[in-house]
Structure 1
Amino acid sequence: MPALSPSSSETFTFDDDGLIPNSPLPLLLYRDVVRLAANAGQDLAKVFEEQFAINQWSGSWRNGVYPYHHYHSNTHEVLGVYRGSATLKLGGSTGHETLVQAGDVIIIPAGVGHMCIEHSHDFSVVGAYPNGMKCDILTGELCQRPQALERVKQVPVPDFDPVLGKEGGLRKWWPAD
C-alpha cells in the first residue's frame, strides 16, 4: 500500500451554537490524501479502510453523510471520501460549508456537527472511529445536551492520527490529556 499524505491540510474550530456543542479541538481536513493510489487504479475505499485500521481507527463502514445536522458525543470520527464530491456543513448551523471530493479525509472531533448539503450521485465515504468505538448520533435536541456535553469532555485524544499515524496531524493539533 502506498504511503498516504495530504497535499494540503486545513483546520476549523467551531464554538458551541447552543444546539451543537462543537469542540475546542480543531476539525482537520486533509486534501488529496490518496492521489497516488487513485492514479494506480486502486480501490480507494479499501486503501482508506486499511490505513485507518493500521492506525487503530476501526469499525469502518461505507456510506454517505446524513443530510441533517448531527454529531457524536462519545467518539471522534474520520471520513475518507472515496468517490464523488459533496458540500458539507461543518460545525452546525453557524458553521462552515466546504467542498470535499474523492481523496479527501475529514477528522471530526467528538461534539462537532456535520451534515451533507448536496452531493454528486456517486458520493461515498469510509467512516471509522478510534479503537472501533460505536458512535451515538445526536441532532442537537435540548434534552440530550447536558449528558452530551459531559460525554464530549470525556472522549480521549487518540494515540494515532488515522492517516499520519503517531506523528503529525491530530497528534500535533490536539493536545494529549
Structure 2
Amino acid sequence: MVVVKKYQLPPTELIPNSPQPLLHYPGFLKVGGSQNLAAEVYDLFSSNGWQTQWIFRYGPTQTSHYHSEAHECMAVLTGSAKIRFGVADTSSDLDESTYGSGKEDGGVVVDANAGDVFILPAGTAHKTFNTSPSAEFKLLTPGDGHNVAADDVRDALANVELTGFTMIGAYPKDGGSWDFAKGGENAGEYEKVWSVTRPDHDPVLGTAEEGLCGQWH
C-alpha cells in the first residue's frame, strides 16, 4: 500500500506555492541492493510521461527556490536530508536562512530519506539542507540540468556514481522548462503559476487515484 502524505502550502508574500498539495510518498522506491536504481527510476518516470533531467548531489544547504512554469518530481536515491517547503529565504547568508531568522514565517520541514518521492506543483518553494553523508553540491549527470546530455540516457544514468545525498529530478515531457525563482518574481501574478497544466499521469503512480490524478483538481 502506498503511503501518501499531503501538505497544503498557502501563498506567501514572496512565494506563490499552489492550490494543489505537495505530495510525499515515503519509502516508495525499493533502494536496497539495486545496482541500476537511477535507470529503473528513469524507466518508471518515462512510462508515465515524465522526463528525467538531472541527478544532483546536494551540499550542506542551498537557496530556497521554486519553479514557476513546471511541476517537478524529486526522488531520493541515496542519503538523507531535510527539505523546507513553502517559504523564501530573506537573507543571502545561507547559514542565517537555514538555521536562523533569515526566512519567511511558515512552511514545513520534511525528513527526506532514500526511497522517498516528492511531487511539487509549480510554485512550491523548496530548500534542501542537513544532508548526510556530507558532500559538495554537484550535478552528476552530463548536461546543464535541463536534460541528460547522452545518446543513451538510461545507460548514462546507470553509470552515475551515487555518493552523498542524491536526488533524481523529472518534469512532465510536455510541461514547461524549470527556472530558478528565489521569491518575488511572480508577485501579483500567482494565478499564472497556478495555471500550469496538470499532467495526465503521476510520475510514479500513473493514473492511480492515490497520486496526483486524484489529489490535484
TM-score range for the pair, normalised by the shorter chain length = 0.7 to 0.9
Aligned partners of 2:45 and 2:52 also within 8 Å: no
In the aligned structure 2, how far is the partner of 1:109 from the partner of 1:173?
A: 11
Q: Which amino acid aligns with 2:36?
A: D
Partner residue of 1:106 out of 118, 121, 144: 118
Aligned residues: 166
What are the residue-to-residue correspondences of 1:97-136 with 2, within 5 Å?
97-120=109-132, 121=134, 122-131=164-173, 133-136=176-179
Distance in structure 2 (CA, Å) of the matches to 1:88 and 1:39: 22
1:69-148 to 2 correspondences below 5 Å: 69-92=64-87, 93=104, 94-120=106-132, 121=134, 122-131=164-173, 133-140=176-183, 142=184, 144-146=185-187
1:61 aligned partner: 54
Q: Does 1:9 align with 2:4?
A: yes
Verify the 8 A CA contact 2:75 2:168 in the aligned structure 1: yes
Measured in 2, the distance between the counterparts of 1:114 and 1:134 equals: 17
Kindly indicate whether residue 167 of structure 2 is the aligned counterpart of residue 155 of structure 1: no
Larger gyration radius, structure 1 or structure 2: 2
Question: Which whole-Å CA distance do the structure 1 matches of 2:69 and 2:192 have between them?
Answer: 6
Give yes or no for contact 1:73–1:148 (8 Å, CA) kept in 2: no
1:89 CA drift (Å): 0.2
Cα displacement string for residues 42-89 of structure 1 (whole angstroms, at most 9, x for unaligned residues) = 422222221111111104210046711100110100001001011000
Structure 1: stretches of 5+ with no match in the other structure? none
* Identical counterparts, % of pairs: 36
Amino acid at match of 1:138: A
Normalized per residue, which structure has more strand? Answer: 1
Rounded Cα–Cα distance in structure 1 between residues aligned with 2:189 and 2:67: 9
Distance change (3 Å), C-alpha of 1:80 and 1:74: same
Which one of 23, 26, 30 corresponds to residue 31 of structure 1? 26
Identify the residue that residue 174 of structure 1 maps to in structure 2.
Answer: 216
1:146 and 1:90 map into 2 onto residues whose CA distance is 18
User: For 2:214, what is the secondary structure of its paired residue?
Assistant: helix
- TM normalised by structure 1 equals 0.86
Greater mean alpha carbon deviation, residues 15-24 or residues 62-71? 62-71
Structure 1 counterpart of 2:42: 49
* More relative contact order, 1 or 2 (CA 8 Å, 6+ apart): 2
Which aligned segments of 4 or more residues in structure 1 are displaced greater than 3 angstroms?
none
Letter in 1 for 2:126: H
